[in-house]
Amino acid sequence: MNDPPTYQSFADQVRRLDRAIRALSGRAAALGIPPPDGEEWFDLLQNKLLAELDLPPLLVAAIVGGTNIGKSVVFNHLAGEPASAASPLAAGTKHPVCLVPAELADRRLLARLFERFKLCDWRSPSDPLGESPEDLMFWREGKNVPPRLLLLDAPDVDSDAEVNWRRAKAIRQTADVLVAVLTQQKYNDAAVKRFFRTAVEADKPIVVVFNQCDVSSDAEYWPRWLATFRENTGARPELVYAVPYDRRAAEELRLPFYAIPPDVPPPPGAEAALPAADLRADLAALRFDEIKIRTFRGAIRRMLDPHNGLPAYLDSIRAAAGEFSRAADALAATELARVAWPSLPAAVLVDEIHYWWNDSRPPWSRRVHGFYRSLGRGATWPLRTAWNSMAKQHADPLAGFQQRERETVVLAVGKLLDELGRLSSVGNDVLRPRLQRLLGGRARADILERVRLAHESLPAVDKDYRDFLRAELEAWRSGNPRAVRFLQSLDRAAALARPALTVTLFCTGLHFAGDLAGQAAAQAAGATAGHLATEAAIAGGIAGGGDA
């Protein structure tokens, strides 16, 4: 029987998920998919789940709502002291204020919980009214704050200043309980409804406070306001309160909070008998563990929303990958360029094979063959010079090969660009814009010129080619050991015979026929085994001949 999952296993899974998403988002960017930063589901992962995995048990209660509805007044009553300035101007609170109990007065803990904000020590109630491009949070210990409870005064959720509602959004994502401050004018505002609707999707517990009420005259309207708020947001408030409008009582922190049944409207005339409640004590009495589990579960549910959560993000990546796959198929099905590639001059190939074979000779054999090869080249130089002069072959064969190869490369790239140009007008939605950007303006001429210049800077036979050729020859050597041993025997015999043959020719007077004829005969006779080895190596390395 499997053991039930533990909190630690849950925390490990959340961290693994975060690492996987971050790794995936980097790759998804190459497909044109923007990173998920700013998406509600991703922000819940960062600001709620990850932020609280290693923290002690606590509950974050945030006072939120629209402009000019007395949020800071409600906050001060909960705090039991004037901690946040109540301004009659719209969008007065620009930065959140956080009061914490003594056991949670730890800057490092708060920095982990509120990573989106720069923590600042609270100095006066007017601190949150100041302008700053940074997202600040003013905090201090609250002498009246119940254990394990953090109280937050948040900026307006419907402010004209975008930065205010962006900060309010971050507070909503971190909070466990939202104290929704509403008024007759602000209970049905579009921005307010949208804010709380998103909170309901994450299953955030909501406490409603109808502020600035005429307790006697508005009693018949509270049920309508509450019903409209519930219908338009999907909220099911845990607690509901009504607070009268009384400026002096607000300034002196003695406003009464009247508890209203959240589901059953009071009968006519019952407003006079509404009990005064202690909102701070009611929040402290909330079932911390149940709410914490509920908000974690709500964040995960919101993350896994198939239409607006992680599955939708993954679907967008799959769709983009599918487009790129179809684009790759279109390119693979198209013959982009076909050209006849020039062959490397045979003399160059033979020389490279000779160098490879020479490197495998014993040192003494290498010295003998090297001496006679040099001697033969020197002796036959007049003959080769005369032949070249008669044949008018003054051009360097490698230079001619490089010129032909360069023309072929430019031709191949030109054909490829022509075909890409065709695809840029008929290709799919992934190929079309990218190819148009690639081929626009003077791009074709610039690319061909860069190709030509790049080829001119290359040697005719570079290290890569030599490494490739030697790898092929070594493969032939490994596959034909008997042939190699036979050729090596002939090669060594030739090395031993060359000096004796030279002495014999000299003694018989063959050298009197002239240096040219004598050395040519010696070179021809003595080089037989070496040439045989070279020819066998060519046959084996290129034609793939079998064992001898």
pLDDT of residue 136: 95
Domain limits for position 490: 345-394+462-548
pLDDT of residue 501: 55
Coil, strand or helix: which one is 297? helix
**The token pair that represents 168 in the structure block:** 């309010």
**The token pair that represents 200 in the structure block:** 């309901």
- Is residue 321, in this structure, part of any structural domain at all? no
**Residues 119 and 213 grouped into a single domain:** yes
pLDDT digits (tens, 9 = 90+) for 171-221: 999 999 999 999 887 777 888 899 999 999 999 999 999 998 887 788 888
**The token pair that represents 76 in the structure block:** 């001060």
**Residues 169 and 287 grouped into a single domain:** yes
Average pLDDT over residues 435-448: 81
**The token pair that represents 175 in the structure block:** 């909070």
CB 93 within 8 A of CB 168: no
**Residues 500 and 405 grouped into a single domain:** no
Looking at 306, 334, 356, the residue that finishes a domain is: 306
pLDDT digits (tens, 9 = 90+) for 45-64: 998 888 888 788 889 999 99
- Is residue 135, in this structure, part of any structural domain at all? yes
- Is residue 335, in this structure, part of any structural domain at all? no
**Contacts (Cβ under 8 Å, ≥6 apart) of 314:** none
- Rounded CA-CA distance 350/465 in Å is 14
| Confidence class for position 153, pLDDT limits 50, 70, 90 | very high
Instruction: Say which CATH number the domain at 232 has.
Output: 3.40.50.300
Q: What are phi and psi of 414, to 5 degrees?
A: -60, -45
- Is residue 228, in this structure, part of any structural domain at all? yes
DSSP classification of residue 396: -
CB 115 within 8 A of CB 47: yes
Residue 269 in this model has a pLDDT that exceeds 50 = yes
pLDDT digits (tens, 9 = 90+) for 353-411: 778 877 877 887 777 767 767 766 666 667 666 666 665 555 677 788 888 888 888 88
**Residues 86 and 111 grouped into a single domain:** yes
**Residues 134 and 216 grouped into a single domain:** yes
CA dihedral 518, 524, 527, 533 (to 10 degrees): 180
**Residues 114 and 165 grouped into a single domain:** yes
Looking at 306, 337, 366, the residue that finishes a domain is: 306
**Residues 479 and 442 grouped into a single domain:** no
- Is residue 537, in this structure, part of any structural domain at all? yes
Residue 515 in this model has a pLDDT that exceeds 50 = no
CB 294 within 8 A of CB 205: yes
- Chain mean pLDDT for the chain: 80
Looking at 277, 306, 335, the residue that finishes a domain is: 306
Domain count, the chain: 3
Amino acid identity at 305: D
**The token pair that represents 408 in the structure block:** 């072929």
- Is residue 191, in this structure, part of any structural domain at all? yes
pLDDT of residue 237: 92
Choose among 334, 364, 375, 352: nearest CA to 527.
375
- Rounded CA-CA distance 155/171 in Å is 9
DSSP classification of residue 254: -
**Residues 168 and 98 grouped into a single domain:** yes
| Range with top average pLDDT, 164-173, 348-357, 481-490 | 164-173
**Residues 72 and 162 grouped into a single domain:** yes
Average pLDDT over residues 127-131: 89
| Confidence class for position 260, pLDDT limits 50, 70, 90 | confident
**Residues 136 and 219 grouped into a single domain:** yes
According to DSSP, the residues that pair with 277 across neighbouring strands are 257
| Confidence class for position 532, pLDDT limits 50, 70, 90 | very low
| Confidence class for position 512, pLDDT limits 50, 70, 90 | very low
Q: Which is higher by pLDDT, 513 or 210?
A: 210
Residue 100 in this model has a pLDDT that exceeds 70 = yes
